[in-house]
Amino acid sequence: MHEYVRREHSRFFKGGTYSPLEAASQIALEALLTGVSDVQIARHGDWVSLASASDWLAGLDGDAFQQLVPIRGGGRNAVTAEVFLTVFARGVVTAKDGKASIIKGDSFGPLAENVPGKGRVVSFTVACE
């Protein structure tokens, strides 16, 4: 899946290439489509974070960080966008209900010091591979 996304990245981004901020906006939309009532996007130096008191990835059939997973509420072509981070960003971390884990890289980034006790956070580096 990663090679497909890397090879066909122009299909997924308006400008034809990976954009960290566009990926963040895609994930925010995804969260809202899955029924989350709020999602915040923040920039912390070289990191971008998305956070919600609800887990927008709960109940999906598959690992959104490793593959394109269909999401409900967005139409027949709606899929998760977290895999774009895994493919293109240098570092990706997530937290669910107070437990943080590194998806890619070796840093917890902004989650090293503050992990919310509830909901979902996804943080990733702006720097690309």
Contact indicator for 122, 104 with CB cutoff of 8 Å:
no
Mean pLDDT over the full length of the chain: 92
Q: What is the mean pLDDT of residues 46-57?
A: 96
What average pLDDT does this structure show over 30-35? Answer: 92
- CA pair distance 47, 90, nearest whole angstrom: 10
Residue 88 has pLDDT above 90, yes or no: yes
User: Which run of H or of E encompasses 87?
Assistant: helix 82-88
Residue 129: how many other CB atoms lie within 10 Å: 10
62-73 pLDDT, tens digit each: 799 999 998 877
Q: For residue 64, with 0-12 CB atoms within 10 Å meaning exposed, 13-18 middle and 19 or more buried, which class applies? A: buried
Query: Considering only CA atoms, which of 59, 71, 64 is closest in space to residue 5?
Result: 64
| Mean pLDDT, range 90-108, rounded to an integer | 96
Q: CA–CA separation, 18 vs 127, rounded Å?
A: 11
